Amino acid sequence: MSNTSLSSKQSLAEKLRELYEEIDRLVVKIQSSPFDFPQVSMLESNSGANSLAISHGELLRLKPGSPTILSQALERTAIHSSNKGIVYIESNGKESLQLYPALLEEAQRILGGLRRIGLKPQDKVIFQLTNNQDFIAAFWGCMLGGFVPVPIALAQPAAGIAPTYSESNGAVSKLHRAWQMLEHPIILTSQKLTASILSLSALWAIEDLGVATIEELRANAPDKNLHHSHPEDLALLMLTSGSTGMPKGVMLSHRNLLSVSASTAQMNNRLVRKFATPSESGFG
């Protein structure tokens, strides 16, 4: 497994925001003009009987013993690819490498912190994080404990944060609707943004706004007692932009995310074999 690079020039929040908005536009279009979308057609076969026109992709080939939940994937990667990791690229071009064993330990510390404040498996955690390394560590901390991260994409993709939390704007309204829809989950942020997010209590006229900082969670001892999730358990909740009202949730299970990862690797390996072998590329 090679090192993975994440650049702050296009933050995770920006990528998620683009995806949410595209999903939202599609949902709205389907609701308004459902007959504009192609339906599965009935084709007449040679025998004269009707059969469904179905397109199947290539069979997903999983190796025996492949991980079935995300926490297993991180644990195995930390063991078998201990000299590999994630390269974080800052806006000034500076690079820093975090090896997978270090990521696992950081996630275990965050797990300990989340449990310490009372979270239980399948509890939701809204992310208001601007730093890619914070985001990745918090995501895996949630995976280790069976918690469900809910990244909220905000109004300024370059900075990855709302223009201001002191007044009502599109980003703050979306955050409020998501917080209400999810029945008041904790909001995970950084120390730099804590005061601004706590100020939402006055704006929303509420008293039960729970906020935790990534720095406080990291200060805990590593918790190695990992929650054993099930493949069909909810792992990630992605919300649409909410431009048409309440955000719509896209529920992704451990099986969903691992299948996407495995199928992407399978397709990439197939392309490498097809285009990069010495006999076909002309090299070697």
Is the pTM higher than 0.85? The answer reads no
| pLDDT tens digits, 217-256 | 999 999 999 999 999 999 999 988 766 667 788 999 999 9
Q: Give CA–CA dist 102/106, Å, rounded.
A: 6
Quickly state the pLDDT bin for 8 (edges 50, 70, 90).
low
Q: Which CATH class is domain 10-27+105-274?
A: alpha beta
Q: Give CA–CA dist 269/124, Å, rounded.
A: 35
In the chain, what are the domain boundaries?
Answer: 10-27+105-274
| pLDDT tens digits, 13-67 | 666 666 656 666 655 554 444 444 444 333 344 444 566 666 666 788 888 899 9
Q: Which contiguous run of DSSP H or E holds residue 265?
A: helix 254-275
Which residues, 6+ apart, have CB-to-CB distance to 159 below 8 Å? 130
The answer to whether the beta carbons of residues 194 and 79 sit under 8 Å apart is: no
Beta strands in 108-199 (DSSP E): 124-127, 148-151, 186-189
Count Cα atoms within 13 angstroms, Cβ side, for 98: 16
